[in-house]
Amino acid sequence: MAKTAAFQDAQRSGKVIGRAVTRVEDKALLLGQGRFTDDLSFPGQVHMRVVRSSHAHGQIVSIDASAARAMPGVLAVWTAEDITELGPIDFRDAAAEALKPYRQYALARDMVRYVGDPVGAVFASDPYVAEDAAQTVEVEVAAQPPLMDVSQEPGSFAPGLNTEPVTLTNAYGDLAAEFAKAAHIFELDLYIGRHSGTPLENRGALGRYDAARDVIELYGAAKVPHRTRDNLARVLGRKPESVHLKEGHVGGGFGIRGELYPEDVLVAAAALRFGRPVKWIEDRREHLMAANHSREQRHVLRAAVAADGLVLAMDDEFFHAQGAYVRTHAARVPDLTSGMLVGPYRVPAFRSTAHFRLVNKTPAATYRAPGRYEGTFVRERLMDAVAAKLGLDRIEVRRRNLIPVAEMPFERGLSALGTDVVLDSGDYALLLDKALAQIGWDALERECAARRKNGEAVGIGLGVFVEKTGLGPKDAVHFHLHADGRLELITGGASLGQGFETVMAQLCAEGLGADYRSIAVVHGQTDRIADGIGAHASRATVMTGSAAYDAAVNLRAVILNAAAELLQTPATDLDIVDSVIVRRDGSGPSISLTEFARQRGPLSADGIHRTDHMTYPYGVHVAQVRVDRETGGTTVEKFLVAYDIGRSVNPMMIEGQIAGGYAQGLGGALFEEFLYSEDGQPLSVTFADYLLPTSCEVSPVDVLVTEDAPSPLNPLGLKGAGEAGVTAVGAAIASAIDDAIGIPGAVTALPVTPQRLLALLARPR
């Protein structure tokens, strides 16, 4: 493999932060040596298949599993009556007491509440036998009318409980006063369709019980292994230290992977009961009907606006379609929606009222940029509406409302994820200017205008946003120089394919003075380190990375102090360069880290990073689209993502994250939606019905990464990039479609499918 100039320069200098060095985790994957959950097997393992409800809502009358139990090779068939000792699946973070009655059990008790609700589990010696046996289980349900529309009045969940467990309010400022002095009042009714992540690798779980150690191991962990361990231990009634989660390779995360699902509980409980390994691998139909959905929200927004286009107040009431149960995320998505909805704009007064409602659909949770994809669509639709009504330029309206750099850090007066929203740093106007210059906005406007005169429906649009990254409160790591010279970083982090090992190795290499390729990064193994928060909410680089850098600096000091005696030189006169301990002045003896470790023995150091607030990177998305008025199809011709990262660790991987995020945002903007019939039957359980954008639909994306606003909250100024590419895609494409068809405010719902677009074009004007 040819080495890039950046790679060679990094190796010469010994400085690796900010360099596009090649990833260390890719070799095994490129050689077909990846170890995904389905690649793992243990002698004597049992295979599980889940029996799922075919009714959206109803009382369970009976479950007849006699035929399945009689089949050769079937070990057992469970219903809820067989696992009464297992409690409901708890939240992984503290949640309101009001939500607890709405938790999901591993197998449905008494009622089924969505198509796909697990009602039974078949265990057999062969996966095909398990599947055949599961099809013979007869489930009788007394069907009840399902609740499908989030805008409907709440119904009954159980005696004394309705389907709106909580209403969340987030507010600041004097709303009434700002509305009273407004020159204009805007009202928008907006909808974001239900969609979610579709990783290449479906979910899987493999449980194994080690009786000698009294330890239950669960393979297939991802994202938040330690918190999932603690949650699973609570459900099983065991001590956390007796539950070990093991993370292998993960074929994509995006929020949907890594939570504790009913299937994980069943596998672990069965391994304990049978004393044999138990394996479950999800098929794609199961994934589309049973893994977490996301996004579905309806927003009814009122806004007060001054004559010059300044937004004085926003009053947003929205309805969050949670699905049938409250899963491990609790009310995290509506909380993030309301806490981040105002984005990069000043807005003197704001109120968000979130109706957290259950409907008879698959339970929902996070998907890449949860709450921000939805809120950005709402906020940027408002900005376009203000521009259209007041006859102002869309860019100028945004520019007038942006928070200026002089006011940073900016205390928003809102909270999200249990912490106050304090925008740590940012020059939003500067990034907007850079984005417009990069894509040539003025020239694009002229080009689109000329093409529209010739009959084409083409247009440009944009969205401006603030992201949140670096969720605390802390992360800790251990960094070891072993006696044989190996360098090993042990973290409580997790890898979802995002390059976690490479980034951690780069940060350690920077702090220590070593070759990043010589550092082994351990993650996702709950028996190797006591605590960890994992990789989610774009936190890994900021939190785990800052702790890793701290550990490397600490280990460097430990090594130099120990080497001072060996080299007969004060530690202050020593340095580590390219994994060699040298004198700073270049004279005298030197010794490699490997030889030093062999002579001195093992050394280690810990690193920790704490924070009270998240970091807030920000971005601008610009889209150019062409609409086919005959078919209703929309083609993205150009797309730009401009993003301020604070400080970049590996620019190549940031660009990769952004490109992947754009593809997912495009899916939610134009293609992907989980649809249901009136009686609650899912209509999107194959890729023939749930439409993903392919390489033909995903246009090349232009990426501009800037480092104008390092965060003051960590030593390296780091912010995260995991959700940069997705957040404003829906908003920018909606803006561009309006421009293309010449109907301001036309797009009020995502995705803008051909059917929806044709309906917009058919409206009387």
pLDDT tens digits, one per residue of 661-676: 999 999 999 999 999 9
Residue 222 has a pLDDT of 86
Residue 764 has a pLDDT of 82
Q: Which region among 24-28, 168-172, 502-506, 632-636 has the lowest average model confidence (pLDDT)?
A: 24-28
Residue 13 has pLDDT above 50, yes or no: no
Residues 235-270 have pLDDT tens digits of 999 999 999 999 999 998 898 988 999 999 999 999
Residue 4 has a pLDDT of 37
Residue 3 has pLDDT above 70, yes or no: no
Q: Which residues pair with 355 in a beta bridge?
A: 167, 319
Q: What is 471-610's CATH number?
A: 3.30.365.10
Q: What is 297-470+614-762's CATH number?
A: 3.30.365.10
The helix (H) or strand (E) run that includes residue 119 is: strand 118-124
Overall pTM surpassing 0.85 (yes/no): yes
Band of pLDDT at residue 589, cut at 50, 70 and 90: confident
Residues 419-452 have pLDDT tens digits of 999 999 999 999 999 999 999 999 999 999 999 9
Was domain 39-145+202-249+257-290 assigned CATH 3.30.70.360?
Answer: no
Burial of 156 (0-12, 13-18, 19+ CB in 10 A): exposed
Distances in Å between the Cα of 482 and the Cα atoms of 315, 485, 488, 599 are: 58, 5, 8, 11
Residue 8 has pLDDT above 70, yes or no: no
Q: Would you state the structure tokens that stand for residue 79, as one six-digit string?
A: 């219903």
- Rg, Å, the chain Cα set: 27
- What does the mean pLDDT of the chain come to? 94
Residue 540 has a pLDDT of 87
The helix (H) or strand (E) run that includes residue 230 is: helix 225-236
**What is the C-alpha to C-alpha distance for residues 301 and 381, in angstroms, rounded to an integer?**
10
Does the fold of domain 471-610 match that of domain 39-145+202-249+257-290? no
Nearest 5°: CA angle at 81, between 360 and 144? 25
Number of helices (H) and strands (E) in the chain: give both, helices first.
19, 31
Sheet hosting strand 138-143, strand order edge to edge: 111-112, 58-64, 138-143
Could you give the residue ranges of the DSSP H alpha helices within 634-685?
651-666
Residues 523-582 have pLDDT tens digits of 989 889 888 887 777 888 999 999 999 999 999 999 999 999 999 999 999 999 999 999
Average pLDDT over residues 625-652: 97
Average pLDDT over residues 79-84: 98
Nearest to 35 by CA among 287, 246, 258: 246
**Residues 6 or more apart whose Cβ sits within 8 Å of residue 546:** 475, 507, 609, 714, 715, 716, 718
The helix (H) or strand (E) run that includes residue 189 is: strand 184-192
Evaluate whether 503 touches 542 at the Cβ level (below 8 Å). Answer: no
Full 3-state SS string of 291-345 = CCEECCEEEEEEEEECCCCCEEEEEEEEEEEEECCCCCCCCHHHHHHHHHCCCCE
Q: Which region among 7-11, 606-610, 756-760 has the lowest average model confidence (pLDDT)?
A: 7-11
Domain ranges of the chain: 39-145+202-249+257-290, 297-470+614-762, 471-610
Residue 10 has pLDDT above 60, yes or no: no
**What is the C-alpha to C-alpha distance for residues 301 and 314, in angstroms, rounded to an integer?**
7
Burial of 110 (0-12, 13-18, 19+ CB in 10 A): exposed
Nearest 5°: CA angle at 246, between 510 and 490? 25
**What is the C-alpha to C-alpha distance for residues 681 and 683, in angstroms, rounded to an integer?**
6
Residues 185-220 have pLDDT tens digits of 999 999 999 999 999 999 999 999 999 999 999 999
Q: Would you state the structure tokens that stand for residue 325, as one six-digit string?
A: 């149960």
Average pLDDT over residues 325-334: 96
Residues 513-523 have pLDDT tens digits of 999 999 999 99
Share of the chain above pLDDT 90, in %: 90
Cα dihedral 641/647/650/654 (nearest 10): -20
Nearest to 441 by CA among 627, 618, 642: 642
Evaluate whether 614 touches 623 at the Cβ level (below 8 Å). Answer: no
Q: Report strand pairing: 58-64 vs 138-143.
A: antiparallel
In the chain, the amino acid numbered 350 is F
Residue recorded with tokens 């404003």: 728
**What is the C-alpha to C-alpha distance for residues 114 and 680, in angstroms, rounded to an integer?**
7
**What is the C-alpha to C-alpha distance for residues 557 and 574, in angstroms, rounded to an integer?**
10
Q: Report strand pairing: 519-522 vs 487-491.
A: parallel
Residues 338-372 have pLDDT tens digits of 999 999 999 999 999 999 999 999 999 999 999 99
Residue 172 has pLDDT above 90, yes or no: yes
The region, left, alpha or beta by phi > 0 then psi within -120 to 50, assigned to residue 488 is: beta
DSSP 691: P
Residues 382-422 have pLDDT tens digits of 999 999 999 999 999 999 999 999 999 999 999 998 899 99
Residue 5 has pLDDT above 60, yes or no: no
**What is the C-alpha to C-alpha distance for residues 658 and 704, in angstroms, rounded to an integer?**
10
**What is the C-alpha to C-alpha distance for residues 3 and 9, in angstroms, rounded to an integer?**
10
Residue 750 has a pLDDT of 98
Residue 1 has pLDDT above 60, yes or no: no
SS3 462: strand
Residue 313 has a pLDDT of 98
Residue 472 has pLDDT above 60, yes or no: yes
Evaluate whether 191 touches 150 at the Cβ level (below 8 Å). Answer: no
**What is the C-alpha to C-alpha distance for residues 665 and 672, in angstroms, rounded to an integer?**
10
Average pLDDT over residues 692-717: 96
Residue 242 has a pLDDT of 97
Residue 326 has pLDDT above 90, yes or no: yes
**What is the C-alpha to C-alpha distance for residues 516 and 545, in angstroms, rounded to an integer?**
14
